[in-house]
């Protein structure tokens, strides 16, 4: 069963096509909510973890009710707690950029690929 699963996985990987424009569209459909955890972690260092969690919960709730042109960044930029936290607009913009929020994914993929003995 493991062999069959790996064969199917290999078949899927061989047919994998990456469409960066669609990846961006998928990220954009969240209006920035995809980075709410990153914002919470950065803000938690300034105002405390629970306060940051509560704030992001409220802001994301507002975001879901807001019009399509409103983003998480816009709502955060207007927020008094954010303004008083010491996180400036440029830093907030960097935190809200999903391409900055990949964690250790590159290192993990490279480690798996390096240990792979099957040619793809």
- Quote the domain boundaries for residue 95: 32-100
Task: Give alpha helix (H) positions in 1-71.
Answer: 2-14, 20-28, 36-47, 49-65
Check which CATH number belongs to the domain holding 54 and give it: 1.10.40
Nearest Cα to Cα of residue 98 among 16, 45, 43, 26: 26
pLDDT tens-place string over residues 7-44: 999 999 898 898 999 988 998 899 999 999 999 999 99
Residue 118 has pLDDT above 70, yes or no: no
Place of tokens 């040619």: 119
- 58 and 33 Cβ atoms separated by less than 8 Å: no
Mean pLDDT, rounded, of the chain: 90
Reported as a pLDDT band with limits 50, 70 and 90, residue 116 is confident
The answer to whether residue 41 sits within a structural domain is: yes
Nearest Cα to Cα of residue 87 among 66, 73, 102: 73
């Amino acid at each position: 069963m493991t062999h069959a699963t790996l064969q199917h996985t290999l078949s899927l990987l061989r047919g994998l096509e990456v469409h960066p424009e669609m990846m961006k569209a998928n990220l954009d459909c969240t209006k920035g909510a995809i980075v709410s955890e990153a914002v919470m972690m950065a803000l938690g260092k300034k105002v405390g973890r629970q306060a940051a969690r509560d704030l992001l919960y409220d802001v994301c709730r507002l975001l879901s009710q807001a019009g399509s042109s409103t983003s998480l960044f816009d709502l955060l930029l207007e927020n008094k707690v954010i303004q008083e936290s010491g996180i400036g607009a440029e830093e907030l913009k960097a935190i809200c950029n999903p391409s900055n929020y990949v964690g250790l994914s590159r290192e993990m993929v490279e480690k798996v690929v390096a240990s792979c003995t099957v040619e793809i």
